[in-house]
Chains A and B, each alone.
Chain A
C-alpha cells in the first residue's frame, strides 16, 4: 500500500480531514504532515480577534495520522473499509500541550505503535512544528469496529 493510498482510504473529508500526506510508514511507526489553512471556519470563533488552532483539532489531527492512518496501513491486507464496512472510535487520549499552532502553520505528526491487538491500537503520538518544537504529545488509543456505525 502506498502512502497516497493510505490518505485516500481515510474516512474523512473537508472540512474534517487533517492529513495532507504521509511521509513515512512502517509496521510500528508513521509520520505525516498537515498545514492548517487560515480559511478553516473554526478560526473565526477560536478566539475572537486571536485565531489559534483549537486543542481538540490538534488531537484530531494527531489521531487521524497517528492512529487511523497507521491502522489502515497495518490492516492493508484485510478486508476493512472505513468508508463502508467498519468504523473507528477514539477511546483514550492523554496529552499535554506545549506550543500554540497558528493559522497556516505546518505540523508534523509522529506516531510510535505500542500495540495493535484485538482491534485496539495504542500509540505514542507527538506533534512538532516547523521549528522542530514539540507542540503536543501524548498516548492515544482507538478501536476499530467491524460493521456499520450504528451496530
Chain B
C-alpha cells in the first residue's frame, strides 16, 4: 500500500519545494519543514492536495502527523483503511 502512496505524495510535494531544493532531495525520512524548507502555508496546501488526491479528510489536529514523509504516508494509509 505505502509503495503506491509514496510516489503520489512525492508528486504532490514537488511544486511546493523552494527553488533551491532539488526534488531528488525528497526521501521517506524527509521532514517537510526542516529538511525540505517547505513553509507552513505550503504545508496546508500539501494537506489539501493530499485530501483531494486520496479522497480523505485530514482533521485540524492531525496536521502535526504530517511533518515527515513517513508520517504522512502512515496517516494516509490509516485514513484509507478506515474510509
Contacts and interface: CB of A to CB of B under 8 A. Distances in A.
A and B assemble together: yes
Interface in B29-56: 39-41, 43-44, 47-48
A91 B47 CA distance: 16
Interface in A7-21: none
B80 interface: no
A143 B48 contact: no
Contact of B60 (A91, A115, A117, A143): A117
Q: For chain B, what secondary structure do more than half of its interface residues adopt (helix, strand, loop), or is it mixed?
A: helix
B21 interface: no
A91 B41 contact: yes
Given A115-B48, A117-B60, A120-B44, 5 more contacts: A118-B60, A118-B63, A143-B40, A143-B41, A143-B44
The 10 closest A-B pairs by CB, nearest first: A91-B41, A120-B44, A118-B44, A143-B41, A118-B63, A120-B41, A118-B60, A117-B44, A118-B47, A143-B40
20 contacts: A91-B39, A91-B41, A92-B41, A115-B48, A117-B44, A117-B47, A117-B48, A117-B60, A118-B43, A118-B44, A118-B47, A118-B60, A118-B63, A119-B44, A120-B41, A120-B44, A141-B41, A143-B40, A143-B41, A143-B44
Interface of B: 39-41, 43-44, 47-48, 60, 63
